[in-house]
Copies of this chain bind each other. A is one copy, B any other.
């Protein structure tokens, strides 16, 4: 693969942000930060056969998701994504057109958010493709939705539905088989491959004086544990209130585990005050953004996160979920 040719083919023809002073083509990118905002920066790496397999995902899907998971981190800060940089280590078995298709998948999502590709690196590797995406965003000064901002009596919420991504992966790996054509298995698979970062909900939360937010990468239980720890509070959620797809329970008896520990849904979970919850719920309804109240924040007890069930209650540990095991 000719690196110069690749760089030429992926270099954007247009730039959305006038604040980009120098994009791809010099030693580094240059941009001017706005006054009155804080810069947000995050980075995530995805590795072939650890985070994705070409057997299940197209290069476009892989590119899409590599950018989506980073945009989701910006959303979880209440921010607006602006720029991204892509560093890839490419093994010989990947063709140039597959690499271009991966960038196309990123570009598809970037266009939605008016994001500019402003830099990156391309190197060789012997075996597996590694893609690292850095995303830069911004949020109005003092309005970031930090994990440490949950307070007792806050309402705990989650966007969209949870467990669908884990269900999709399970279907892809053929650990789960749908018994009936009445279940739209493609839907779950799509949720795994093409998560939708919840930037709009993050932006609504950042309009409040205080909101705690996390995106669901490692599973609801893990994310709520992080909020509880950082805020020195306990969180109590109600199993019956967890938003899941109506077909989820029909797919596999493990469905509750998917919802609590599955991860990779890239929904947002967080807490706001009771009065802000009413505003948030209303605003989300108006914009047709699904959001569900799932519990309350309590004064700190011994347990960080408690799940109330029909039979009593259960402590939710910070355990993750190993997807390809």
A interface residue numbers (CB < 8 A to B): 21-22, 25-33, 35, 38-47, 49-51, 73-74, 76-77, 79, 83, 85, 87-89, 118-121, 123-128, 130, 132, 134-137, 139, 141, 144, 146-148, 213-215, 230
A36 (CB) vs chain B CBs: closest residue:
B32
Assembled-state Cα–Cα distance A32/B132 (Å): 24
24 residue pairs of the A-B complex, CB under 8 angstroms, read A26-B230, A27-B76, A27-B147, A27-B214, A28-B42, A29-B40, A29-B42, A30-B38, A30-B139, A32-B38, A32-B141, A39-B39, A41-B136, A42-B85, A42-B119, A43-B87, A43-B121, A43-B134, A44-B87, A45-B87, A47-B125, A125-B128, A125-B130, A130-B132
Do residues B127 and A45 form an inter-chain contact, with CB atoms below 8 A? no
- Told that A29-B42, A127-B127 touch, could you supply 11 new A-B pairs with CB distance under 8 A? A21-B144, A22-B146, A30-B144, A39-B39, A41-B136, A43-B85, A43-B119, A45-B88, A47-B125, A125-B130, A130-B130
Instruction: Using known A-B contacts A40-B28, A41-B136, determine if residue A50 contacts B119 with beta carbons closer than 8 Å.
Output: no
Chain B residues closer than 8 Å to A124, beta-carbon distance:
47, 50
Instruction: Using known A-B contacts A28-B74, A51-B123, determine if residue A45 contacts B132 with beta carbons closer than 8 Å.
Output: yes
Assembled-state Cα–Cα distance A77/B46 (Å): 29
A320 to chain B, nearest CB (A): 9
A130 (CB) vs chain B CBs: closest residue:
B130
Do residues B77 and A41 form an inter-chain contact, with CB atoms below 8 A? no
Do residues A26 and B147 form an inter-chain contact, with CB atoms below 8 A? yes
Do residues A38 and B47 form an inter-chain contact, with CB atoms below 8 A? no
Assembled-state Cα–Cα distance A220/B213 (Å): 48
Do residues A77 and B27 form an inter-chain contact, with CB atoms below 8 A? yes
A322 to chain B, nearest CB (A): 10
Q: Give the interface centre of A45, A135, A139 by most chain B CB atoms within 10 Å.
A: A45
Assembled-state Cα–Cα distance A89/B40 (Å): 23
Do residues B47 and A123 form an inter-chain contact, with CB atoms below 8 A? yes
Do residues A132 and B27 form an inter-chain contact, with CB atoms below 8 A? no
